[in-house]
Structure 1
Amino acid sequence: MQLGTRWTAGEQPPKAVPEALHAQIAAVENALTPDGLSAPAPRWTLTWLEGRPVAELDTGVIVTQDPSGEVVVRYDDDDEFA
């Protein structure tokens, strides 16, 4: 059993986050645009799906590994199932 974890964007990812995801997580964070309203930074949630890590940012960006091990960045589009 693997437990997930949460952390704030801009912080060092916890040890539970596989090193393979770190570069893409950093790239996503570098692309974040501050809103100028002093809103808190979004938070990441790490979960595991079929043994693969899934890091999801509160904004809907998802960084995961596909079955071949390639790191994939996508946006959670709720309209996808409409």
Structure 2
Amino acid sequence: MQLGTRWTSGDEPPRAVPEALRRGIRSVDDTIPGDQLGQPRPHWTLTWLEGKPIAELDTGVIVTLDADGKAVARNDPDDGFG
């Protein structure tokens, strides 16, 4: 069993995050505009499902690894924004 963790988008992910997933997270983070009003950035949550890492941003973006080990970003269909 592996426990998850949280961190602020734009910050360095924890060491438990695989490098391929880090690249996907970085790609998503790069699309988030800076808030000039000082609002906090959203947070990532890392969880593990059947031994596979899943990173979910508070906004509903999910980054997982595909069968080839490459990062894939998608929106959560249950986030209420669809």
Instruction: Looking at secondary structure, tell me which structure has more helix per residue.
Output: 1
Uncovered stretches (5+) of structure 1, i.e. residues with no partner? none
3-state DSSP of counterpart to 2:46 = strand
Maintained 8 Å contact 2:23/2:71:
no
- RMSD between aligned residues: 1.8
- Give every structure 1 segment of 4 or more consecutive aligned residues whose post-TM-superposition deviation is greater than 4 Å: none
Uncovered stretches (5+) of structure 2, i.e. residues with no partner? none
Match of 2:9?
9
Q: Using structure 1 for the length normalisation, give the TM-score.
A: 0.85
Distance 2:30 2:50 in 1: 29
Identical pairs, percent: 62
The correspondence of residues 1-80 of structure 1 with structure 2, limited to 5 A, is 1-78=1-78
CA deviation string 1:45-74 (max 9, x = no partner): 000011100000001100011344232110
Higher relative contact order (CA 8 A, sep 6+): 2
Count of aligned residue pairs for this structure pair: 80
